Structures are given as C-alpha cells and as structure tokens.
Amino acid sequence: MSSNVVNMRDHKQPAADKEAIDRLQAMTADDMQLVNETILKRMDSPVALIPELAGHLISSGGKRLRPMLTLASAKLVGYEGKRHIGLAAAVEFIHTATLLHDDVVDESNMRRGKKTANLIWGNQPTVLVGDFLFSRSFELMVESDSLRVLKILANAAAVITEGEVLQLTTANDLTTSEEKYLEVITAKTAVLFAAACEVVGVVSEQGAEVESGLEAYGRYLGIAFQLVDDALDYSAKQATLGKEIGDDFREGKVTLPTILAYRRGSEEEQKFWKSTMERRKQAEGDLEKAIDLLSQHGTLNDTIERARHYGNMAKDSLAIFRDSPAKKALIDIVDFCVMRAY
C-alpha cells in the first residue's frame, strides 16, 4: 500500500504549511468560543440521551472547519454584528446531523478514531438525534431575522439530503460519469461549505458581488475538500486522520479514483472492479490489489490534481476582497485542505 502514498507525494506541495488550520483557529478563537457556548446550550434537552449522543460526536475532535469559514468570512468582510455566531452554530448542527445520518446509512463503526453513535446507541436513537439537531439549526436560522439566510441554509440542508440519495443511486455503478460524481460531491459536501460563507454576505448587507464571491469560494473549496477525502480513503495517510483505509472500497462506494481506474483498466481489471465493487464479492488481498491498480493508473494523483484545480478556483473567488489577514487565512486553508493528501 505504500506505493500509492509515494506517488501522491511526487507532486510539488503547495507553499502553505500545515499550520494554516492553527492560524485560522487562532483568528476565530474568540468567536468560536461563543459558537461553542451556543452549541452546548442548544444541545441541552430534558431527554438525557439527546445531549449525550450529540455530544459524543460534537466533542470528538473535529476541526469545526465549516463554522470557522463562517467566522472567517465575517472578518473578511468586516462584519461587526453578532448574527454570524448563531449562523456558525447552525452550520455545525447541520453538518453534525448529516454525519449521524450518514453513519447509519453507511453502517459505519468508526469516525474520527472513535466508535460511531449508531454502534454505541443503535440506529434509531442516532437518526432521531440527528433530526433534533436539524430542528435546532432551523431555530438558529429563524433567529437571524433574514428570510434569505433561512432560504440559503434550508436549501443547503435539502440539497445535502438529495446528494446522499443521489450517491445511493450511483453506488456500485462503475459506469458513473465524472460529471455525475461531481454533482454528488457538490450536493453532499460543497453546498454546505458555500452556504456557510454566503450567509455572511447576506447579514453584512454588502451586496450581490460579495455574496457571490463568498458562495463561490465555499463551493469550490468544498469540492476540493471532498476530492481529497476520496483519494485519502485509499492512502496510508488515512490512518493518521483517525479513519480506516478502504471504507469506500468495502462499501462499494464509487468515487473518482475508482471511476478513473475502471475506465483505464484492461478487461481483466474491469472484471476485478465489477466483482469487488458492483457485486461486492471481496476476498482477503482485494483492497491491496485495488490500491495497486489505482497507483498504476495514477488515479489518486489525478484526483488530487483536480482538487488543486478547484482549490485554485476557490482562491480566485477571493480576488474581489482587499488584502487582509482574514483573506490570507482563507487562501492558506485551501492549500491545507489539498495538503491533507501528503
């Protein structure tokens, strides 16, 4: 499995270093403290299982990237109000709710190096607590006193679900086009990134150009982020992120690395992919063979190159904003997201 990791390192790494996330966290620390207080307050319930189960995931060490994007966007545009705090919490609730639901759908056992909520408490409580968090997010949206904010975030929540359903229809289908794959990851991942940034443009009342620039930045960053995630699933680097290598392969989840490998493979290789991914007939050693094929055909590198392309588009979307520490931090976080592959 080491060969694919070596290949992924062949490309020149971006200039930004891995401290970019630390700098973004430091820049948003005061506001994030208020966001965390809001999250804890809104998670409270007389039904003890709700805060217990939700807290299991929320406190499990995630970087809170999406709400940080909301907070950093506020600094970027010089917003001095407080509505971005509740909106950042709403974004995190939407994200957490989708993770709870995803783990049930995917029958996952581990997330961020910990047992998943569905493994500990079962599927029914996990789904219902996810629903509870969705409801809390809508309360926070309403409190923003903006119908446009409500529309943006409510639409994002709906589109995420559509993306997950669309992914189910493409699961195990090796003939899925790259365009359809991009449609899936835009819906299930990039739309929330986009909404997390765009709502700041709305509450800051700085006009359509600012709103559009923030939305584009978030959307392109989200696509790049998911592309890297899908490449990492076949990389030894995955273990350092608290995730198990090859989950997508075991679940028969068709992502860009396997779409490209299937297209480029010989008839014998295509038979292997059909047997293991479409019919889910997997034996010991099949994951290692899959990783070798991905490496041979350069599909992990090509997936990362596509991520780099969308990352550059995200940076370009910030051109309308004046230079500032917030702008630099948002640019650097793009490189950080791509560098996770190394």
What domains does the chain contain, in order, with CATH numbers?
17-339 (1.10.600.10)
Q: Which pLDDT does position 288 carry in this prediction?
A: 96
Give the pair of three-digit tokens for residue 310.
Answer: 């969308």
Closest CA to 60 of 125, 25, 112: 112
Closest CA to 72 of 334, 331, 329, 337: 329
Q: 177-180 — which CB contacts under 8 Å span 24+ positions?
A: 177/259, 178/256, 178/259, 178/260
Cα(223)–Cα(22) distance, integer angstroms: 22
Task: Tell which phi-psi region holds residue 243, choosing left (phi > 0), alpha (psi between -120 and 50) or beta.
Answer: beta
What DSSP character marks residue 245? T
Q: Which pLDDT does position 110 carry in this prediction?
A: 75
Please give the chain's pLDDT, 342 residues, in tens: 334 443 454 444 444 457 899 999 999 999 999 999 999 999 999 999 999 998 888 877 678 999 999 999 999 999 999 999 999 999 999 999 999 998 898 888 877 678 888 999 999 999 999 999 999 999 999 999 999 999 999 999 999 999 999 998 888 899 999 999 999 999 999 999 999 999 999 999 999 999 999 999 999 999 999 999 999 999 866 655 556 789 899 989 999 999 999 999 999 999 999 999 999 999 999 999 999 999 999 999 999 999 999 999 999 999 999 999 999 999 999 999 998 866
